Amino acid sequence: MKIVQAVGWYHPDSVGGTEVYVAALSRALRAAGHHVLVAAPEPGSMAPRTYAYDGCEVFRYPIPAEPSRDEVQGDAPVRGAAHFHRWLSSTHADVVHMHTFVTGLGLNEILAAREAGSRVVVTTHASSLGYICQRGTLMLRGETLCDGVVDASRCAACVLEDRGAPAPVQSVLASLPVTVSRFTGAVPGVFGTALGMTDLITRNRSRQQAMLNAVEAFVVLTERAAEIVRANGAPRGKVVVNRVGVRDDIERCGDSANRTNGVIRIGYVGRFEPVKGVLDLAEAIARVPASARLRLEFRGPAQSTADLATKTQIARMCAGDSRVVIQDGVAPAAIGDLLGSYDVICCPSRCLEGGPTVALEAIALGIPVIAASVGGVAEVVEDGVNARLVPPGDVNRLAAALTEVASNPGATICEWKKHLPPTRRMRDVTREYLELYSRN
């Protein structure tokens, strides 16, 4: 079987959970005897290019570094994406598997793959769940898990709040009728984007339905995500849950603690993005008593200007706290060793994540987690039994959890390790995808 894995970003210029997932899936599919190609847009490049990564051919196609509003919103073909459409036509793949929608990889590309004669499967790794959540987190106003049911006015107000609009402005713009919003949204610039928000939410709802009509299956990573997609009218048979798995070569560490001189080592490993809860963690450590014997390490890549700004902000927030270390990330092959050096991994995300993968890898290694009470990890662990789950954005509860593990590791870390859940592997994920690829 010839299979294309299409993803919004890819190695070696981008390293994150989705890229690691796609690389591992591609490796497992090749090991099962299938021909696998990877494709991804490349913002700012001038021409398509092909290279090899991890034994797999990768096709990168150019899209603008600064796309227009119509391109971003899906109302105009993305410049450069036609290279991908032609490549799909010439590749003759049996299956095109797309992972999360970004500029240059969306509904138009699904239709191009179908036109080329391929079956199309989509897996969403993002909390947007396709075109459902324009804010991209499924956290209502950034505070509580949303029910996810699309309502143009409510969703518009939530997005506008995230973009810094004052409350009175949110209320006015979110109450615009769709027909008015469509007309006023034609105004250039950010003001036009705000005026057109209720229309955009409505058009996204139509795009979601068109996408579901065109694909063989829409794969989500959690049961909660499946409930939300179905609540928005998705045909039950098209929504498939395939939980995140970890690399097949990860083996559980010994049961001995990693503590040195009684100091509990806590690690955050991931991107420096506010939605990952890194600023909450930096604020939380400042509320942990100085007497608590712990060391907190922030480890991860800063791949964008926004990431660098967040990393700088964390350094400023933690300045003078000798318990905090901020360092770069490590290569994917070294993640296991890094995770194994900690007593606890902290993943305080502010979104409905499918993983995060790093938390699942830590659990597979025998390292318990402090994590947000929503998302993939929260569906496989139990608070107080084998983990500590904290409401997203609740800095006081997060600080209390850090204090708890540092003050009483015997009753927390040591006990949690005894009851960690079984490990789901990428071979399990791959087997379910192969069944899906072949499904009539």
Residue 174 resides in a domain: no
Q: Let me know whether 286 and 326 are in one domain.
A: yes
Q: Let me know whether 332 and 367 are in one domain.
A: yes
pLDDT at 304: 85
pLDDT at 38: 98
Q: Let me know whether 220 and 310 are in one domain.
A: no
pLDDT at 440: 67
Q: Let me know whether 319 and 344 are in one domain.
A: yes
Q: What is the pLDDT of residues 334-382, one digit of tens each?
A: 889 999 999 999 999 999 999 899 999 999 999 999 999 999 999 999 9
Residue showing tokens 């200007």: 305
pLDDT at 254: 60
Judge whether 392 and 374 are in contact, CB under 8 Å.
yes
Q: Residue 331: left (phi > 0), alpha (psi -120 to 50), or beta? A: beta
Q: Let me know whether 297 and 378 are in one domain.
A: yes
Residue 371 in 3-state DSSP? strand
- Tell me which DSSP letter residue 60 carries: E
* Domain that residue 340 falls in: 264-417
Residue 197 resides in a domain: no
Residue 154 resides in a domain: no
Q: Let me know whether 312 and 406 are in one domain.
A: yes
Tokens found for residue 109: 């590309």
Residue 33 resides in a domain: yes
Q: Let me know whether 343 and 226 are in one domain.
A: no
Tokens found for residue 386: 């084998």
pTM metric for this prediction: 0.92
Residue 189 resides in a domain: no
Q: Along the 440 residues of the chain, how does pLDDT read in single tens digits?
A: 999 999 999 989 887 789 989 999 999 999 999 999 999 999 999 999 999 999 999 999 999 999 999 999 999 999 999 999 999 999 999 999 999 999 999 999 999 999 999 999 999 999 999 999 999 999 999 888 899 999 999 999 999 999 999 999 999 999 999 999 999 998 999 999 999 999 999 999 999 999 999 999 999 999 999 999 999 999 999 999 999 999 888 888 765 444 557 899 999 999 999 999 999 999 999 999 999 999 999 999 887 899 999 999 999 999 999 999 999 988 878 889 999 999 999 999 999 999 899 999 999 999 999 999 999 999 999 999 999 999 999 999 999 999 999 999 999 999 999 999 999 999 999 999 999 999 86
Q: Let me know whether 233 and 355 are in one domain.
A: no
Q: Let me know whether 21 and 112 are in one domain.
A: yes
Q: Let me know whether 103 and 235 are in one domain.
A: yes
Question: How many angstroms separate the CA atoms of 38 and 281, rounded?
Answer: 35
CATH number, position 403:
3.40.50.2000
Question: What is the number of structural domains in the chain?
Answer: 2
Judge whether 309 and 424 are in contact, CB under 8 Å.
no
Residue 355 resides in a domain: yes
pLDDT at 256: 47
